Structure 1
Amino acid sequence: MTDTSPLAATPWSDLPATERMPVLFVGHGSPMNAIEDNRWRQRWQALGAELLAREQPPRLILCISAHWLTPGWQLTAMDKPRTIHDFGGFPQELFDQQYPAPGSPQAARFISQCVLHPVSRQPLVLDEADWGLDHGAWSILKPMFPNADIPVIQLSMDYSRPAAEHFAIGQQLAQLRERGVLIVGSGNTVHNLRTMRRDAADNQAYDWAIEFDRITAEHIAQKRLTSLCDFQQSGAVAQMAHPTWEHYLPLLYAAGAVHADDEPRFFNEGFQGASISMRSIIWE
């Protein structure tokens, strides 16, 4: 699907301001959530309907997924981003899923010029061919926006950089909210696949998982968002919650894009497999 709306022909620098878009962090959990009729997916569907019912629905979605790591930062800049099935061992039905949302090369070029590398201050790199929409993006966006008619751009993450730089990129993204851009971080506040227990109920989790999720939620509720960058100071609890931290980093982009007068609202609180927190947040 190619973006043929009137907005596609208007330079992004000339688009009129909109009401400020919310910011989302979505715990995506298992890829199966994209097709199973569970409470996580049902809440994504309800939230999408809520956003589409706004007087000014999103013009563009900018998604930061745990599953696209690159040297430096990159933006997808193709007309038709492909649906990436970056997983294994799941039913064929999941591999058959497609999310043909258009891209927006024009918007990507605009964003690359106004959101700069936090150290070099150079424009972000444009990926015009290689990536697309990985399951961290499409598995939540398809239930939320099933018509796939809102252009989607993905922003990669440089895993080698310190947490504060990821937050700083998010702070630069904040300016896009008044241009109709819905910023969506997709990861998990707790993510340890090594310790998963597939027989665990949604309200069951390890003590360390509950503790790290609680610490994170308190920072958010009390608007101590810069404190989220210090997550590794929680020591062993943080190490268990995130043996690697690519699923935590998207939270920093979303939190960085929050304005002082935004209020957080939690949803999808609970766990999958005792070691994946599905906690999600909308700031508006």
Structure 2
Amino acid sequence: MKIPAFFIAHGSPLLAIEDNDYTAFLEKLGRELPRPRGIAVFSAHWDSPEQLVTVDERHETLHDFYGFPEEMYRLTYPAPGDASLSRRIGELFAAGNLSYQPSRGRGIDHGVWVILRRMFPDADIPVVALSVDSLRSPAEQYAIGRMLSPLRDEGILFIGSGGLVHNLRMLEDGGNPAEWAVDFDSWIAEKLEAGELEALFAYDKQAPHARDAVPSYGKEHFVPLFYAMGTAAKGTKAQRMFQAYQYGTLSLNCWKFE
């Protein structure tokens, strides 16, 4: 059973308790997907030069944010891990000559649990979290995803969790999205829908407003896109499932890769 892979923006941690069009979309998406055997998430909030893979039997919930309502710090997502899936991921990394390390006891960050809590609220599907390396090239990030593509045929749901436009220094109070943010998202959408990998790999040189949308200090939120894309069949064209904005520039989008 092959399940689509996704890039899913996790936006503000408040998505865990808010009710809006995006949270309703995530809940509906979770209900409509075939039930995965396991979920593997590349999270923007786990940026490491070394590839890390969780191996916990059950995950603690990391509240890796500050200044939010007290209710947020009481939320948990006690999803189980899956030792066999972690092992299988490690085998595929080793076969691809990628050095990796098992990680025990870290917990799952809000880039993982906020979206999974909306999609699969029962927390009864095994989860394995994976780090990203924002200093690698897009081609390398994509290649790491490709190593894991065989797991798509084994009922594993892959998610890249981040944000295509994610510059916290350029948030706005207005209700309408900033034109530059829309222009960047539109360029990315055009290339994703056409399957133009080489252009996407060069987004920082070709896309309009790339430095504002993906600042040098925030690349980790963009790169989960390439990891998720890599898990899909080579040449796969993407489908945009949702697009909206928070605070004028924080892009909320979901892309599906069959």
TM-score normalized with structure 2 length = 0.94
Q: Does 1:99 align with 2:74?
A: no
Q: Does 1:164 align with 2:136?
A: no
Q: Which residue of 1 aligns with 2:247?
A: 273
- SS of equivalent to 2:240: strand
Residue 234 of structure 1: CA displacement? 3.1
| 1: CA distance, partners of 2:235 / 2:49 | 34
Q: Does 1:214 align with 2:200?
A: no
Amino acid at match of 1:44: L
Call closer, same or farther: CA 1:217–1:235 in 2, change over 3 Å.
Answer: closer
Residues 145, 227 of structure 2: 8 Å contact kept: yes
Residues 65, 186 of structure 1: 8 Å contact kept: yes
Q: Does 1:205 align with 2:177?
A: yes
Amino acid at match of 2:238: P
| 2: CA distance, partners of 1:42 / 1:235 | 30
Counterpart of 2:201 (choices 221, 225, 229) is: 229
Amino acid at match of 1:63: V
Call closer, same or farther: CA 1:262–1:163 in 2, change over 3 Å.
Answer: closer
Call closer, same or farther: CA 1:250–1:122 in 2, change over 3 Å.
Answer: closer
| 2: CA distance, partners of 1:144 / 1:267 | 14
| 1: CA distance, partners of 2:68 / 2:93 | 37
- SS of equivalent to 1:270: strand
Residues 101, 149 of structure 1: 8 Å contact kept: yes
Q: Which residue of 2 aligns with 1:72?
A: 50
Give the structure with higher Rg (CA).
1
5+ residue gaps, structure 1, are 1-18
Q: Does 1:87 align with 2:65?
A: yes
Residues 113, 124 of structure 1: 8 Å contact kept: no
What count of residue pairs does the alignment treat as equivalent? 256
- Percent of aligned pairs with the same amino acid: 38
Residues 22, 282 of structure 1: 8 Å contact kept: yes
| 1: CA distance, partners of 2:245 / 2:13 | 14
Amino acid at match of 1:245: K
Residues 80, 124 of structure 2: 8 Å contact kept: yes
Call closer, same or farther: CA 1:260–1:73 in 2, change over 3 Å.
Answer: closer
Residue 38 of structure 1: CA displacement? 0.9
Call closer, same or farther: CA 1:216–1:75 in 2, change over 3 Å.
Answer: same
| 1: CA distance, partners of 2:118 / 2:94 | 31
Q: Which residue of 2 aligns with 1:147?
A: 122
Residues 225, 256 of structure 1: 8 Å contact kept: no
What per-residue deviation string (whole Å, max 9, x for no partner) do you get for residues 33-53 of structure 1?
1110111111000000001xx
Q: Which residue of 2 aligns with 1:177?
A: 152
Residue 161 of structure 1: CA displacement? 1.8
Residue 159 of structure 1: CA displacement? 2.4
Residues 164, 229 of structure 1: 8 Å contact kept: yes
- SS of equivalent to 1:240: helix
Amino acid at match of 2:174: A
Residues 42, 129 of structure 2: 8 Å contact kept: yes
- SS of equivalent to 2:76: coil
Q: Does 1:264 align with 2:246?
A: no
Residue 260 of structure 1: CA displacement? 4.6
Amino acid at match of 1:265: Q
Q: Does 1:36 align with 2:18?
A: yes
| 2: CA distance, partners of 1:227 / 1:253 | 16
Q: Which residue of 1 aligns with 2:87?
A: 109
